[in-house]
Amino acid sequence: MQIVLPNFDVNENEATITEIFVKEGDYVKIGDHLFSVENTKVSKELLAEKEGYIRILCEEFSVKKIGESLGEIYSTIEEYKNACSSDIILKEPEPELNATKKAIELAEELKISIKEVCKGKANGIVKTQDVLNFAKKEKEKGGTIAFGRRINQYDRERVVIIGAGKGAEIVIDIFMDDKDKHVIGLVDSYEKEFLSYSYPLLPCNVFDFPEKIDRSMYDTVILSIGSTLQTMQFRKELFETYKSLGIKFTNAIGNNVNIRRAVKIGVGNVMTHNSYVGTGSVIGDNNMISYGMNLGHHCIVGSHNLLAPGFTTAGCVDIGNECIIQTGVNTRSFVRIGNRVVLPVGYLVESDIEDGTIIKGYMSGKSSK
């Protein structure tokens, strides 16, 4: 039985294999999860429709056309072995060595004995993932394995999203357009289910994540938390804690954000669609920047800020740290907005604003200045 990429979106003719849940030669049952696939709009999991031994004909992060074969399921082990015989590479003079050419090449590169890998796999053909699993076990035993390489051309940056609320959906939507990044899971202290997309919640909370999740399982993280004074403060504290522990951050930048030349952007920023960053501007770390923001030329934005939809500046505006600037705020040129400033919906900034200023009209209606 052929397993082909189905046409699950009439507007797309191809999809990326984001995860393979089974190993080569595994015996699968009806309903078992086989592959996770996604295009620019949809994420879907493919299930087994027949019992038998699976032959995998794709790799993780490979791109397949609609109707292309992802694998085959055979009723008997004999049928499976006959089908696989054409792509088995036997390393002479050891006829018992069953491994693909890519697996042998990877083992040689990592200085691992492919014969030892084969011994550890009683049935089926050794593939690249088997070599990687073997290498990881050896490393845990204290061995020295030559990691730090790209496994194949489809390998992408593995990202963990911290927070599994509505903000996470926004970040996932951005990453679904980014062919260089792949979400491997989400972390949340309160959410127990995440139903909007087919991504797992990792078995930890935001506090014990650094200790519970092995660093080798991911490359970077991004925070999706932050919409109020309290949650933005928590976002800042979490960012600084993770950074002090050596965790690396990535940016989530919408594919139609217009970033002009000579712009510098830090890490941990979420920048949603239809935003504009003018020439020569500088943006710090860990900012939440909503859709429709227009940052003029040669502006400076600090870190840990929330810039709501439709915020627009003229040129040469300086924005400090930990500010919350609400929807539709506008500024004149050459003004400075200090640190920890809160501006209400539709406010016009005509002159410099001192640190700690909260302009009346923000959420609760309270004002400090």
Please check the confidence at residue 153 and state whether its pLDDT lies above 50.
no
H or E element that contains 241: helix 229-244
Q: Where in the chain is the domain with CATH 2.40.50.100?
A: 1-87
Q: How far apart are CA 308 and CA 329, in angstroms?
A: 9
- Tens of pLDDT, residues 44-101: 889 999 999 999 999 888 888 888 999 999 999 888 888 876 554 333 344 456 777 7
Amino acid identity, position 267: V
Lowest mean pLDDT segment, chosen from 32-41, 140-149, 170-179? 140-149
Q: What is the CATH number of domain 157-244?
A: 3.40.50.20
Which of 155-164, 188-197, 278-287 has the highest mean predicted lDDT (pLDDT)? 278-287
**Quick one: which of 5, 126, 124 has its CA closest to 70?**
5
Q: How far apart are CA 285 and CA 269, in angstroms?
A: 6
Q: How far apart are CA 307 and CA 290, in angstroms?
A: 6
Q: How far apart are CA 298 and CA 277, in angstroms?
A: 9
List beta partners, residue 16.
38, 63
Positive or negative: CA dihedral 107, 179, 213, 194 = negative
Is CATH 1.10.472.50 correct for 254-369?
A: no
- Residue 59: strand, helix, or coil: coil
Percent of the chain whose predicted confidence (pLDDT) is above 90: 53
Overall average pLDDT of the 256-274 stretch: 95
The larger pLDDT score, comparing residue 233 to residue 7, is at: 233
Whether 110 and 145 have beta carbons less than 8 Å apart is answered as yes
Q: Where in the chain is the domain with CATH 3.40.50.20?
A: 157-244
Whether 301 and 322 have beta carbons less than 8 Å apart is answered as no
Q: Is the pTM of this model over 0.85?
A: no
Residue 318 binned pLDDT confidence (cut-offs 50, 70, 90): very high
Q: How far apart are CA 146 and CA 283, in angstroms?
A: 36
Q: Read off the DSSP letter of residue 312.
A: B
List beta partners, residue 348.
330
Whether 301 and 282 have beta carbons less than 8 Å apart is answered as yes
Q: Which fold has domain 1-87?
A: OB fold (Dihydrolipoamide Acetyltransferase, E2P) (2.40.50)
Which of 36-40, 201-205, 319-323 has the highest mean predicted lDDT (pLDDT)? 319-323
Q: Is 210 exposed, middle or buried (0-12, 13-18, 19+ CB in 10 A)?
A: middle
